[in-house]
Amino acid sequence: MGNALVVNALSAEGAQRLPPRLAALAGALGTVEHPGQPVRHNLPAGWEVTDEDRKGAGSLLSTLTSMLDPQAPFEIDDRTVDGHMAKGALLTKMIDGLAGPANQSATAASAKIEMYADAIEDLPAWAIDKAIKRWARGECPYSIEESPRYAFPPAPATLRKMALFDIEDLRRNERKLKNLLAALPLERAMDPEPLPAAPGLPALRRMR
């Protein structure tokens, strides 16, 4: 897999919180809206994002983006595989290991796998692995399912909700870092003059 980031549940837990400095900066951001223009994020007067802050935020954002990639590599049985293969292996193990009907036809088994795959196709394998382990330990959050039947596989929607439960903080941090890196000084944020268009995009026209 070259230098691709291999994500596991442990490394994901380590990214649940932003470093204190970046968390403070992201938490201080304000927003300004001008008619017909995207929302602008700004720092309070007197605040600034230093080069060191920007470097740290950019590096962490890159890591989070890789971790949230549905195809992020994942280690299965001491072998690193792409996200699609990893999720297939995890689903098969879960279904076979939790009271799956021994006489189930190959067609029915394939259909079941496809339903799960549709439910989690946009989620990373490490989050699916963590959700399955949470189910195996009988730790499905009450807010997701009130009366779980742990002897059986979770419904596709339940598995998805449990995986999302473990990536919400990472997605939130990803958004915070994007906003921080795009933040403007207060004076520029308040100026209604449109910002320069991003490369390859048409300039925004000012609404009159």
Q: What is the pLDDT of residues 135-192, one digit of tens each?
A: 999 999 999 999 999 999 999 999 999 999 989 999 999 999 999 999 998 888 898 8
Better-scored residue on pLDDT, 185 or 201: 185
Distance, in Å, from the CA atom of 67 to the CA atom of 141, rounded to the nearest integer, reads 23
The CA-CA-CA angle for residues 190, 24, 141, to 5°, reads 115
- In 3D space, the residue among 5, 8, 16, 123 whose CA is nearest the CA of residue 66 turns out to be 5
Instruction: Answer for the pair 72, 124: CB distance below 8 angstroms, yes or no.
Output: yes
Which region among 7-16, 74-83, 115-124 has the lowest average model confidence (pLDDT)? 7-16
DSSP secondary structure code for residue 138 in this structure: T
If you write DSSP's letter for every residue of 106-133 in order, what string do you get? Answer: HHHHHHHHHHHHHHHTTS-HHHHHHHHH
Of how many residues is the chain composed? 208
What does the domain layout of the chain look like in residue ranges? 9-190
pLDDT in tens, 99-114: 655 556 666 767 888 9
The model's pLDDT over 12-64, given as tens digits with 9 standing for 90+, comes to 565 678 999 999 999 999 999 999 999 999 999 888 899 999 999 999 999 99
Residue 3 pLDDT greater than 50, yes or no: no
pTM of the model: 0.79
Radius of gyration of the chain (CA): 22
Task: Kindly report which listed range (73-77, 89-93, 199-203) carries the lowest average pLDDT score.
Answer: 199-203
pLDDT at 58: 95
